[in-house]
Amino acid sequence: MKTLKYTFFIALITLSISCSKEDEEFYNAVYTAVPGLVAIEVQPGYNVNDVLWLNTDAFSRYLPEPDQTTPLDVYRTTNSEQFSFLYRLEKQVNGEWQNVAVGNNIIEDKGEMRIGNYITANAIYNSNTENYEYRGGLRLTETGQYRIGFFSGYNGVDFDLISDSSNRSTFLTIATTANNVTNGFYNFTVN
């Protein structure tokens, strides 16, 4: 009888240990791809003290989903008040691309920006427009060759917009693109 109890106990422990520990299952993470959710407000030319703007004007609460007939309700799915993405400003110096410390040369029009080794853009949900809104600017302070770089996304090609979901809500990562970006970069000159 003791052997049967021990066998049952060991089987129970084995089953509980073998449960999946995948982050996606633990955090309830899902992924999709929707191109064109970020826009670079391109100008024909840039001069010192011009502002380079990025925005999420196309980031609606309701997004088309591949192979689905009804749009995905991002807000209802995630309960998230914001989505974030990362980018950086680089300058070409002696043939090498170097990260530019943007310091206080940022302008927040909509959403929020946090500065570190890169810029974290937070698109904040607006219940009146039903859009996730971000419009952030970088004041261009010196002449030279520049580029905006986006970090590769989960699909290895695009970059990610990631929800800031609350506990027990779905964490959504959206692989997206921005206009005029080639291989993850928008190149431009400041005169």
Mean pLDDT of 56-67: 93
Residue 13 lies in a domain: no
Residue 108 sits in a domain whose CATH number is: 2.60.40
Tally of structural domains, the chain:
1
- Residue 94's pLDDT band, with cuts at 50, 70 and 90, is very high
- The CA distance from 73 to 26, in Å, is 22
- The CA distance from 172 to 161, in Å, is 8
More confident residue, 66 or 2: 66
Out of 103-112, 123-132, 156-165, pick the least confident. Answer: 156-165
Residue 7 lies in a domain: no
Predicted local confidence at residue 117, as pLDDT:
85
Residue 58 lies in a domain: yes
Residue 10 lies in a domain: no
Q: 147: domain range? A: 26-190
- The CA distance from 57 to 97, in Å, is 29
Q: What are the tens digits of pLDDT across the range 173-186? A: 999 999 999 989 99
Number of helices (H), then strands (E), belonging to the chain: the values are 3, 16
Strand ranges for the chain from DSSP E: 29-33, 39-41, 51-55, 62-63, 72-73, 82-93, 96-99, 106-110, 112-115, 119-126, 131-133, 135-139, 144-150, 159-163, 171-176, 185-190
